[in-house]
Structure 1
Amino acid sequence: MTPPHPTAPIFVRRSSTCPFDPAEELTRLRAREPVTRITLSTGASAWMVTRYTDVRQVISDQARFSSEAAIDGPIPPPMPQGGFPPPRPGFFSTYGPREHARVRRILNAEFSARRMREFRPRVETVVDEELDAIDRLGPPADLVADFALAVPSRLFFELLGIPEVDRSGLLPYVGTLLDFTAAPQDQAVAFGELDGYMRGFVDECHRAPGRGLIGRTIASHGAELSDAEIAGIAAQLLLAGYATTSGTIALGVLLLLRHPDQAAALRDGSADPQRAVEELLRHLSVVAFGKVFTAAGDTVVGGKEVKAGEYVLCQLPSANRDSDLSPGLDRFDITREPPPPHLAFGHGVRHCLGAELARMELRIGIPRLLRRFPGLRLAVPFDGLRFTPMNAAYSVESLPVSW
């Protein structure tokens, strides 16, 4: 197997023997020193938290753990003299509690259970159309490009209301912004292009709102939000909206191919798709960390004193394998009873806004893929696959399959 990334820092590193597992050293730290000092790739110091209870504490507490560090990207530099600049308009994940709640209240209806039920037929149609295309072209196929990326990105662009003609041009900018290895100047250009497009799109939606989320938000809440804020909301939703689902589909299919008995149970309906998806989310944990948080004041995490202004990084793959939740969580088992809780979508006020959309895509997409191609198999040696730990969502670069 090609090493996932030889220079990946500890907080995104995966096992040297199994690409689905966190690095062995993270398991050791969770047992011996669950809150430990590390140095980020920017040179800044941070506390890394690896135990489920401590990670949930940090993620859930907006008052004590601020999201402002995310203003400078997922891996912030040392705290600038005088503190961080104000949040970019619309990037509500970096807002303080009151402003964050204000934007979440506006957006909650767009991701409600009722809205997701209404969207379900469209999810089914898009999944089937992409499977038809794969079938029509015949083997081999790249399940990353042809399915794992195609379905979630297409659905999320539709949800926002982005015209189809513009979508392929936006994908490279999103990819650059989600890539931790991209040069800062390239990311700055990509952000400028994405921001410029979204501002123009908001202008268009004022003239013709359409049926997408952005148009509906302008029609219903245009008086409460500036155009710059709506454009920022659109950009943040796009950046957060499909990469994690794409990574979970790609790695989830690969994991199921490595466990043919569990794939067969999901294919023939003897396994519960809902439970299977929760196990995939927990076991894979494609987001190595949700954000780097900043301690708003002196506090204690896992028995360690954390000073005001210090960074706190939550290690989600490690937290979701914590044996304090249940024994044997390093083992993949879609029939696990009872299903253990997990933090793949965050927790509390920082729970992922699009979690139910992602779950629906996974519950529909993976079983239909397995049923459509019962002979699905890798078309290349497993050891030749390349993985992407230095990305906002862990995945595999390509997944050649045959059937």
Structure 2
Amino acid sequence: MRTLRSRITAWLGRKYIARKQKKGFDLSKMAFLPDAALMPLKRDGLDPVRELGDLREREPISKLPLPFGLNAWLVSGYDEAKAVLGAAKGFSNDFTNLVGNAGVTADQNPGGLGFADPPDHTRLRKLLTPEFTMRRLNRLTPRIHEIVAEQLDNMAKVDGPVDLMESFALPIPSLVICELLGVPYEDRADFQRLAASRFDLFAGAGASLGAMSESLEYLLGVVKKQRESPGDGLLGMIIKEHGDEIGDRELAGLADGVLTGGFETTASMLALGAIVLLRDPESFRLIHDDDDAINDFVEELLRYLTVVQLAFPRFAKEDTEIAGVKIAEGDIVLVSLSGANRDAALGEDVERFDRNRKSTSHLAFGWGIHRCVGAELGRMELRAAYPALVRRFPEMRLAVAPEELSFRKVSIVYGVDTLPVLVK
């Protein structure tokens, strides 16, 4: 069984890297977006580009040039971001707001929580939230540690450089989501293939929504199997407890949302967080030696890295005003989470990673009713993975010069393409 799992996870990593090297996650390929609109998605290494910080200081809410006649705003200030994200009555996330733009059609709606408004959002979140309580998640703790240990065992067998992205960052969240959803073991190769292709999104809006459609078709098959024989995973538990209260299409949409929110984001965090550890020996030693340091360390990493750079788009339901800026009904509002999390409102010297910073009220998981429902699961994975990594490989180091690392040039979920390290 372990041999099969190793083959599956290695295959996942190879396919993921091959896709990115072939097509990339480069939003600049979306020809309908002007360069100025892409600025919030650009970075300099691990940091947002300076232009974003300068803009936040001048105009925490600023006009953003978008095509198709859309009147758009970029929110990069912390207080302003919370005001928008927390105003569910004033702003809509509903997918129908996108229909008619860039060829988007109503039947391409991926479902889930991110593109839903109350009361549908409220009903669906009530079904999903109990599966993410600590009581339910605690059942996954032993498996998370086992999954991490298995990946470290595989890495230890390799002579020469190991790609930390392929061998560590990708398989951990993929296998954890399999456990969470209750994907049968015989289906995991297909699930992980879709987990990788699900994020080959940015050759254009049509390709993105096409990937969502394939993912939903697969997950509908998983849901139907769970209907026949509900297991102890998230899908099975929802079916056991709610039965026909939720249809197959809605349940598949929720599962797709879990995949969207929990795979790519955690993989990027694991890889980028490892870079922070490798370039900061004091942080490396801290996590190696001090069990109590991991919680604040992870929170600071979440704030500093903010791998999900933009929140789901909001559309103003009515004329409104945020921080003195008048936003008209129908205007689109994009919240820069990476910009807001570098706002001085969160503390001193927030442009810098501070291993000793106490937890802040960062927006890495969003805010308000659309805050990531799987936030605590992501934290659990990070808290398990980093100490295990540095303790298993205390001599770990980059196998290439830091300037040779290839980061995504323009991406909603920021990350690194490959991360070659030496562990011996």
TM-aligned CA distance change 1:178 to 1:146, over 3 Å: same
1:218-297 equivalences in 2 (<5 Å): 218-269=239-290, 272-297=293-318
1:175 Cα shift?
Answer: 3.9
* Counterpart contact for 1:180–1:391, Cα < 8 Å: no
Alignment of 1:27 onto 2:64 = no
Change (3 A) 1:69 1:27: farther
Q: 1:155 to 1:70 in 2, by over 3 A?
A: farther
- Opposite residue 222 of structure 1, the aligned amino acid is G
**Identity, % of aligned positions:** 37
Counterpart selection for 2:82 from 56, 67, 77: 56
Q: Distance in 1 between matches of 2:103 and 2:84?
A: 19
* Secondary structure at 2:310 match in 1: coil
1:69 and 1:99 map into 2 onto residues whose CA distance is: 12
2:384 pairs with 1:364: yes
Match of 2:43 in 1: 14
* 1:378-400 CA-partner distances (Å, limit 9, x unpaired): 00111111112544421101100
CA distance in 2, matches of 1:299, 1:212: 42
Shift of residue 88, structure 1, vs aligned partner: 3.7
| CA distance in structure 2 between the partners assigned to 1:79 and 1:58 by the alignment | 27
Contact kept in structure 1, 2:320 and 2:326, CA below 8 Å: yes
Q: Which residue of 1 aligns with 2:173?
A: 152
How has the CA–CA distance of structure 1 residues 185 and 165 changed in structure 2, closer, same or farther, with 3 Å as cutoff?
A: farther
Structure 2: give runs of 5+ residues left out of the alignment: 1-24, 29-34
Inter-CA distance 170–39: structure 2 relative to 1 (3 Å threshold)? farther
Distance, in Å, in 2 between the alignment partners of 1:71 and 1:155 is 33
| 1:379 aligned residue (374, 395, 399) | 399
Q: 1:200 aligns with which of 205, 208, 221?
A: 221
| Equivalent position to 2:362, from 335, 342, 361 | 342
- Alignment of structure 1 residues 300-315 onto 2, 5 Å: 300-315=321-336
| Residue in 1 that maps onto 2:374 | 354
Q: CA deviation at 1:256?
A: 1.4
Native 8 Å contact 1:290 1:314 kept in 2: yes
Alignment-derived partner of residue 191 in structure 1: 212
Deviations 1:92-113 (A, max 9, x none): 2222222211111111111001
Using a 3 Å threshold, how does the CA distance of structure 1 residues 11 and 287 change in structure 2: closer, same or farther?
A: same
Give distance in 1, aligned partners of 2:359 and 2:216: 41
- Post-superposition offset of 1:163: 2.5
Query: Which has the larger displacement, 195-204 or 392-401?
Result: 195-204
Q: SS state of the match for residue 47, structure 1?
A: strand
Q: What is the aligned counterpart of 2:150 among 103, 106, 129?
A: 129
CA distance in 2 between counterparts of 1:181 and 1:281 reads: 24
Give how far 1:184 is off: 4.1
Distance 1:174-1:44 versus aligned 2 partners, 3 A rule: farther
Native 8 Å contact 2:271 2:415 kept in 1: yes
Equivalent residue number for residue 10 of structure 2? none
- Is the Cα–Cα contact under 8 Å of residues 216 and 252 in structure 2 kept in the other structure? yes
C-alpha RMSD of matched pairs (Å):
2.5
What TM-score, normalized to structure 2?
0.86
1:140–1:402 CA contact under 8 A, matched in 2: yes
Runs of 4+ residues over 6 Å off in structure 1: none
One-letter amino acid of the structure 1 residue matched with residue 117 of structure 2: G
Please say if residues 201 and 211 of structure 2, whose CA atoms lie closer than 8 Å, have aligned partners that are also in contact. Answer: no
Q: Secondary structure at the match of 2:326?
A: strand
Q: What CA distance in whole angstroms lies between the structure 1 residues aligned with 2:277 and 2:394?
A: 12
Letter in 2 for 1:394: Y
**SS in structure 2 opposite 1:324?**
helix
Contact 1:271–1:334 (8 Å) recurs in 2? no
**Distance change (3 Å), C-alpha of 1:362 and 1:221:** same
- Specify the SS of the correspondent of 1:387: coil
Using the size of structure 1 for normalisation, the TM-score is 0.90
SS of equivalent residue, structure 1 residue 125: helix
Structure 1 residue aligned with 2:91 = 65
Opposite residue 55 of structure 1, the aligned amino acid is A
Q: Distance in 1 between matches of 2:111 and 2:205?
A: 21
